[in-house]
Structure 1
């Protein structure tokens, strides 16, 4: 028997999986105003048809795409902004098959007054570079608090209207010591707690802001929710244009993270989900982005130079992040904890994840190709 909850939405449940029928095309903003239960019917149908992700992941992906549209259509935005990181690799480049809960964004530091001669990269000494980075951090915090957050809240409110009625909220993350993370809470149609209080998919999108990243090279691209990809005839204009860091640059950003971890002190604690960077680099290589990046060693040099100033860490040995001495394969002493961490990531990866041993084998191949004598 069909169950109708609202005008325009009808869900028919078969024995095997739900089938969805929307009576008319719907805009994402219209769907954002539906009840959480109505959206849950749609997201459940998508998850059943795909078979490789939960309905809660489909739901969160919808809100990731929806908030990205708000971000990149802000009127009077406080600074130029770019989309980067793991979520960009899955949503824009379709290069990795994992779900990332965070949206990495970077303001153009020149728009915050730190371009030209004020750029930390042009500081005459390490001490002055450190001072400028501190000032840049403070400027970014101020912009987020006083300009970005109020404007984003107004843009969200134009569609979702009353926060109490629609059960949404925007706030800075009080647990972020840098004060540069914004949390967007949305109304969910699914359980958010698992057995014994374990968390499933929390109904919040983390917007991790900052202004230290370089924005070159970048391109315009489109992000589309998984729900619209599964039911394209049911959505009206689901794509959103974003400015995104080039995948080849992200390849080298990831590679230098692995290089830094190779040189990390043996007693340095492994960060939670650190293994995602090893997975991402392998998937980028297998998607064809890595081989293209190998022809852009200028990007590797640019990333290493940039991190030397903006993410200074003597132990990372960024000066050795170059052909002949780049290190991607983790030390054998780290394999056990990385393998365990990778196992915990299983629920984030769509379909069957590659074996940890496969990651090591591909990383070995990439490292050998980069370091081979020319």
Structure 2
């Protein structure tokens, strides 16, 4: 049996990371973080927590779907709302009224942090202790509105990096306002494990998480981009990742995304109830219009400039491959997506 990479002395890990970087072209600190991302997934989905959680977002696109070549430090997980508040969801996973949504959200805002504290953190801590790993796991700045975060700080084998972004930590972000469906089990492995010399020398974490479908991931991101275009307001750094991810999905075989009208409608219904938004003029945003022939993916004026700046910061942080499409190319592809989606979804279905 091969020795565990994470249990090796820091000097041996550093040497392996540098070698893996030379062979793969990926930065060693990104490769190191990737190992811990997969370790987290392995621990979660090897425990009794796994069946309740769906792995989603950009990291799932790169690690499971293998659609994008973009590094993400965050692990986005949806706790199945039906498991968290079963008494409220017997008749369905989406509240019938705004009043009901407030009651559900209030329960989620109480129960999700409790579950994180009493179930999630102890599960990861037990695994760290059993494997004699010295990483630290703790709650991280509750985001409210049914979402919470946990930070896993690990001991880096590398010298201190000047990068303000690539820090030795993995952030687990939770939401509990959806089922996560449709989803399926998919294999996930470490990037270092693809380097033959290293895979013959060490064992690396591997996982089989329950992963959100490509169709739902696409429409979650497309509607998020649609909201930005109508509000002209950036929601934090690296929001431009949504446009990059949409473009990469479109560059791969993607027709199933546009054939899946049921998932598009599901996302619209879900966001209409749980994520109601208004545009820049104060008019409520209609998600069903977005998935019914009225999708907007290209911002205008200052909003486009802001998005470009955000994209360039993401690129400069080393989060994209050296040959990744630039901002203008991404916008060109997103314009094609917008046109194609609006043409397909405005047609009467037979």
Tell me if TM exceeds 0.5. Answer: yes
Q: Where does residue 82 of structure 1 map in the other structure?
A: 54
Q: Where does residue 251 of structure 1 map in the other structure?
A: 218
Instruction: Give the 3-state SS of the residue equivalent to 1:122 in structure 2.
Output: coil
Instruction: Give the 3-state SS of the residue equivalent to 1:133 in structure 2.
Output: helix
How many angstroms apart in 2 are the aligned matches of 1:240 and 1:269?
A: 34
How many angstroms apart in 2 are the aligned matches of 1:351 and 1:306?
A: 37
Cα deviation code 1:89-140 (max 9, x no counterpart): 00011111110010001111111124534756234x3122112112112111
Aligned length: 334
Q: Where does residue 48 of structure 1 map in the other structure?
A: 22
Instruction: Report the Cα offset of residue 78 of structure 1.
Output: 8.7
Q: Verify the 8 A CA contact 1:120 1:309 in the aligned structure 2.
A: no
Q: Match for 2:264 among 300, 312, 317?
A: 300
**In the alignment, is residue 354 of structure 1 matched against residue 325 of structure 2?**
yes
Instruction: Give the 3-state SS of the residue equivalent to 1:116 in structure 2.
Output: coil
Instruction: Report the Cα offset of residue 271 of structure 1.
Output: 2.2
RMSD of equivalent CA atoms: 2.1
Instruction: Report the Cα offset of residue 31 of structure 1.
Output: 1.6
How many angstroms apart in 2 are the aligned matches of 1:36 and 1:341?
A: 34
- 1:202-351 alignment to 2 at 5 Å? 202-231=167-196, 232-236=199-203, 238-264=205-231, 266=232, 268-288=233-253, 290-315=254-279, 316-346=285-315, 347-351=318-322
Q: Where does residue 127 of structure 2 map in the other structure?
A: 155
Higher relative contact order (CA 8 A, sep 6+): 2
Q: Where does residue 102 of structure 1 map in the other structure?
A: 74
Give structure 1 stretches of 5+ with no counterpart.
1-24, 161-165
Q: Where does residue 4 of structure 1 map in the other structure?
A: none
Instruction: Give the 3-state SS of the residue equivalent to 2:137 in structure 1.
Output: strand
How many angstroms apart in 1 are the aligned matches of 2:39 and 2:296?
A: 38
How many angstroms apart in 2 are the aligned matches of 1:357 and 1:271?
A: 21
Q: Find the structure with the greater CA-based Rg.
A: 1
How many angstroms apart in 2 are the aligned matches of 1:159 and 1:215?
A: 30
How many angstroms apart in 1 are the aligned matches of 2:108 and 2:92?
A: 9
Calculate the TM-score normalised by the size of structure 2: 0.89
Runs of 4+ in 1 over 2 A off after TM superposition: 76-79, 113-120, 174-179, 231-239, 268-271, 314-317
For the structure 1 residues 129 and 151, does the alpha-carbon distance in structure 2 shift closer, same or farther, using more than 3 Å as the test? Answer: same
Deviates further, 314-323 or 352-361: 314-323
How many angstroms apart in 2 are the aligned matches of 1:152 and 1:351?
A: 34
For the structure 1 residues 260 and 117, does the alpha-carbon distance in structure 2 shift closer, same or farther, using more than 3 Å as the test? Answer: same
For the structure 1 residues 223 and 251, does the alpha-carbon distance in structure 2 shift closer, same or farther, using more than 3 Å as the test? Answer: same
